[in-house]
Amino acid sequence: MADDLTIVGADKFGKLAKALREYGDKDLRRDLYAGINRAVKPLTADVKARTPMFLPNSYAVELAKSLRVKVRRRGGRDPGVKLRAVAKTKGGRERNLTALNRGRLRHPLYGNRSHWFNQPVRAGWWDQPLLEGSDEVRRQIVSVIDDIGNKLDRKM
């Protein structure tokens, strides 16, 4: 999705990831990534819970069932955490979540998949909940980074 939430500028995260690679401590690395996943989990739950506020009820239920949020952590150049939403249709195709986030729901005429409609919906179903909760997530991620960094310092 083009409008993913990216938490960047985490110089501490980049330095810690590099130190963990050099030191070779897989347990601390696993703990770091588990802590990051724990920190972003409430955001994904908030997106699912608030989906009916932005989309028609039947579509919101269907979208929430198939919605998956992928967490990508980068520790090299340009360190950060990126969340990406992915949802599939009943037919297995990927939904156009970028258009949905921009306020456009594209759907077929009931029973006639050769005739499609553009339906305006409230924009920001993905961006708004993530941006509102991002400050708390940043604090939690920095806390996890500091905690793992302290543990690594004690081991070295």
C-beta separation of 87 from 68 below 8 A: yes
Q: What pLDDT is stored for residue 2 in this prediction? A: 42
Q: What pLDDT is stored for residue 98 in this prediction? A: 93
- In this structure, is the dihedral angle defined by the CA atoms of residues 146, 152, 28 and 16, taken in order, positive or negative? positive
Q: What pLDDT is stored for residue 10 in this prediction? A: 57
Phi/psi-derived region of residue 5, left when phi > 0, alpha when psi is between -120 and 50, beta in every other case? beta
Distance CA 122, CA 54 (A): 5
Q: For residue 108, what are its two tokens? A: 């077929």
Distance CA 101, CA 105 (A): 9
**What's the chain's Rg over C-alpha atoms?**
19
Give the start-to-end residue ranges of the domains of the chain. Answer: 5-155
> What does the pLDDT look like over 32-72, one tens digit per residue?
889 988 988 898 889 889 999 999 988 898 898 899 988 88
